Amino acid sequence: MINIDLICKNKKVTKTEVATRMGLTRERLHKILKGNPTLANISKIADALGVPIQEIFEPPKQPKVKCPACGEILTLQFV
C-alpha cells in the first residue's frame, strides 16, 4: 500500500503539487495510484515527495505521547 496521503499531509504538499513536480496532471497521478504503479512511477513519486522509496510502503509510525492530565502514555493512530 502506498502512503502518499500521509506523506503529503506531513510534508504539507498537495497531490496536485506532487503531480506537477512529476510533470503530470493530478488526474494522471490519480490513475497511476489507483492502478498498479510501475517501479519507475513509484520512484518518481518518491523523488517528488523527497522521500526514499521504502517510506512510501512503510506503515505510518504511530507516535506515542504522554497525556498532560494523567501522565498515561498514549499511542496515536492515523485513520
Q: Give pLDDT tens digits for 15-62.
A: 999 999 999 999 999 999 998 899 999 999 999 999 999 888 876 566
Looking at residue 44, the DSSP 8-state letter turns out to be: H
The confidence score (pLDDT) of residue 12 equals 93
Report the distance separating Cα 66 and Cα 14, nearest Å.
Answer: 31
Cα 24 versus chain centre, distance: 18
| Cβ neighbours of residue 8 closer than 8 Å, sequence gap 6 or more | 14, 15, 18, 49
Q: What are phi and psi of 74, to 5 degrees?
A: -115, 140
pLDDT tens, residue by residue, 66-78 = 888 898 888 877 6
In order of their start, the domains of the chain are 4-75 (1.10.260.40)
Kindly tell me if the per-residue pLDDT of 79 is higher than 70.
no
Confidence class for position 65, pLDDT limits 50, 70, 90? confident
